[in-house]
Structure 1
Amino acid sequence: MKNGVWLYGLQFFNTVLPLVTLPYITRVLGTAKYGTFSVVLNFVSYLQVVVEYGFALSATREVALISDDENNSEDGLSRIFTRVIFVRFLLFICCFAITFINIVIFNRPKETNLCFFVLSISLIGYVMQENWIFQGKQEMKFISICTIIARIITTLLIFICIKTPKDIVLYCVLYSLSPIIANIMGTIIAVKRYKLRLLRLKMQDIIDALRNGMYVFFTQLSSKVFGAIGITFLGIFASSEDVGIYSAIYKIPYVLMLLWNPIAQIIYPITSKRIVESNYKGYIFIKRIKKYILLLFGGISVLVGIFAKPITAIAFGSDYVQRFYIIYPLLLWMLLGINNNFEGIQTLVASGHDKEYSACFQVGVIGTIIFNYLLIYLWGINGAAMAPLISEGLLSILLHYRVRRVGTFTNL
């Protein structure tokens, strides 16, 4: 309950502040400039997944299951901490090099290239992200405190500094500051609270870290493709205005997902332990929670669907209302995403079946790329709204089948 209160305090800020700043930004930047920002942010979000490299789950599980003796030893938690920081820093260098090559190769306006460069700087914040430690220790209040402070600072600066569409680069700077400020604070707290220190690593330590996070990384990268490939193809086949409209309306189910995320973070360490103790009881626990969560978010989705047009007008402005109807398939996509989290993360990953979970996503991501390419090429923004729903439905079938094929669950 304590963790829930802190994380919902965080999600209150994650939900309310975008509801305050997004209407302002979509109006000030306009559909075209907001579309440009969305395309750049979409590119950097792929790199963010690379830098995080699945440690949000794989390292969290290591911390949650670490023994008391190892936790109190010199090379227990500190060794995990060192591995994660070192591997993420190497990945950050690779990702920044990719951004530089992208800027050099493609002939884009100078303003757009500056946006790419500035938003890529934000990746250094994810190198220092220690949420996996706090989540594994079930001390989520530190995640909340750091993020809330950073968001308040950057939100105030956005209202003070962003006045015209020409301020798009400055908006990228302020957007990048939030993860950097929050994660610097989080690292300082984690180091002091858990007496962390950097240890000398062997090559095998790095290999083990990469191996432990590999399946979750590919799964999260696939998940990012599920949610972001639409903007990628829209940036190729559609106008900046359509990209801006789609990106704005997409934020509505995204905000609902922000309400779900604290629940997922809270129950993941619990489901991990329960499934380790008893596969059957752990799975029954997951099914019971899933039923109530889907009923809750299903009801919210119905209300949002009823008032979709006025919500779009109030949230983003009259320029975005013409495409309000794309919210309907996106709401269904959000519900399937929550269901698939229970089937995949809370069941397969929590029970140590990362490989099986990743395998489902590798098939699903191929379908996602194909569906998005074809539907967006044929129907533009309308196809972009339908493709995630079809792709998530395919993944749902794959995960449902895999859970029942895994040996430890065949008796259910």
Structure 2
Amino acid sequence: MIDRRMASNIVALYAVKGMQYLMSFATYPFLTHTLQAQGFGAMNYAASVIQYGLLLTDFGFDLSATREIAVARGNDAAVARIFWRTTLAKTMLALISVVLLTLSVAVVPQWRVLAPVFAFSMLNIVASVVFPLWFFQGMEELRLASLLGVAGRALMLGFLFWLVRSPADVGIAVVLQAMPLIIAGAFWWTTQWGLPRPPWRKPTRPDVLASLRMSWPFFLSALSGTLYTSATTTLVGMYCGVQEVGYFSAANKLLYNIQGLIGLLVQATYPRISQLAQQNKPAAVALIRKAMYLQGGAGLVLTLILLIGAPWMMPLLTGHDLAASAPVMRWMSPIILLGALSYVFGMQSLLPFGHDRYFSRILMIAGAGNVLALLVLLPGAPTGEGAIRAAQVVLTVESFLVLAYWWRARTVWAEARAA
């Protein structure tokens, strides 16, 4: 059931998200116009590679640790144990990620040319450790997390407009976009504003290993998911060049921002569904059904807006240099609806009821299929076609995910209702 606490959480999240979108509406067209295809492409090419280090650092904790915190809420000792062992594990993985990425950039010629941009992008790995979003989510304090994020972003917004003047300033743009979460995290760690930090509990080696084992299936899922998200941008850059990355990323970034509206519903309901799946299975299914109607309806409306409006919307938002992103957006617009349903059938249905392995297997199949299709279609693609072919592949993969998750979710719902 959507009770008063959850409803207020959702309303507050959307209010905060409204402020975030006002800032995004300013920064997205500003960056596309100022950095142009080459600079915007370089920034997103580096981000797609750094995502692998971010993936290793997160290691699925955003799902496993969130679920643990949600279940343990009210037991201060258990929450403290989960918090500190997860924080230590993420810190260790972040150090490993930075070392591996630094070595990779030094070895790969295409990446070495953009070494400063890659180095600045690694600040996102630091931000992932400093700002424990998984803890706020598990405690159902996403309103607080969002407010902290907005405050940090607002602080950096003026510097972005002031310091980024041309495509040569792409490194500055990267730094200023990574800093908000670092600032927000540092503020919370020093003040504990709004949500007290759990009391110190020294993690043991078995604690950390147990945390990694518990997160392993989620890490594999995220790794598989990366094979059809970040890997797409990386392969477009390798085979078609930075400019094609600019076209693809201009559409993909806007798509990602719009999907964030639906993602808020997922973030708000996932901890509660996870809790109900252990205590009241029929109630969990009822909440999932409500989420399906809300997310599906929002996804359909947003998809139609993008599908119809892309030819005039993209040139207006991105500028003449990135106008070729319009056909890419038309191909990708149905992903809004498909992604909304994929959340319902996958993350909100399969994971709370323990179907982690099926969830992971489907993502692995989808990711492998995505990479294989891109390896076949991208080499030799005519100029201007690489980004479009990538969009077509991503749309196909997303369609497969929705069908595969829905097929298993039907059984999960039936079993939960009978419980």
Please report the TM-score for the alignment, with normalisation by the length of structure 1: 0.92
What pairs with 1:213-362 in structure 2 (closer than 5 Å)? 213-362=215-364
C-alpha separation between the residues in 2 aligned to 1:250 and 1:294? 20
Q: Deviation per CA, 1:4-51, whole angstroms, max 9, x where unpaired?
A: 133213322332222211211112112112111110011112221221
Report the more deviating stretch, 181-190 or 82-91: 181-190
CA 1:227/1:276 → structure 2, altered by over 3 Å: closer, same or farther? same
3-state SS, counterpart of residue 57 of structure 1: helix
Structure 1: runs of 5+ lacking an equivalent: none
C-alpha separation between the residues in 2 aligned to 1:43 and 1:16? 28
- Cα deviation for residue 176 of structure 1 reads 2.2
C-alpha separation between the residues in 2 aligned to 1:285 and 1:5? 17
Contact persistence 1:63–1:77 (CA under 8 A): yes
Report the more deviating stretch, 398-407 or 340-349: 398-407
Residue 166 (structure 1) aligned with residue 157 (structure 2): no
Contact persistence 2:331–2:388 (CA under 8 A): no
CA 1:372/1:20 → structure 2, altered by over 3 Å: closer, same or farther? same
C-alpha separation between the residues in 1 aligned to 2:192 and 2:388? 45
Give the aligned partner of residue 392 of structure 2.
386
- How many residue pairs were aligned? 408
3-state SS, counterpart of residue 250 of structure 1: helix
Give the aligned partner of residue 4 of structure 2.
none
C-alpha separation between the residues in 2 aligned to 1:395 and 1:109? 31
Q: Deviation per CA, 1:49-103, whole angstroms, max 9, x where unpaired?
A: 22112111211111111163x32xxx42221111111100111111101121112
Q: Percent identity?
A: 21
C-alpha separation between the residues in 2 aligned to 1:387 and 1:326? 11
Contact persistence 1:154–1:178 (CA under 8 A): yes
3-state SS, counterpart of residue 300 of structure 2: helix
Give the aligned partner of residue 20 of structure 1.
26
C-alpha separation between the residues in 2 aligned to 1:257 and 1:195? 30
C-alpha separation between the residues in 1 aligned to 2:207 and 2:279? 28
Give the aligned partner of residue 42 of structure 2.
36
- Cα deviation for residue 328 of structure 1 reads 2.1
C-alpha separation between the residues in 1 aligned to 2:42 and 2:174? 11
Amino acid at match of 1:240: V
3-state SS, counterpart of residue 378 of structure 2: helix
C-alpha separation between the residues in 2 aligned to 1:323 and 1:93? 36
C-alpha separation between the residues in 1 aligned to 2:142 and 2:367? 31
Structure 2: runs of 5+ lacking an equivalent: 1-6
2:406 to 386, 400, 403: 400
Cα root mean square deviation, aligned? 2.2
Residue 61 (structure 1) aligned with residue 67 (structure 2): yes
3-state SS, counterpart of residue 44 of structure 1: helix
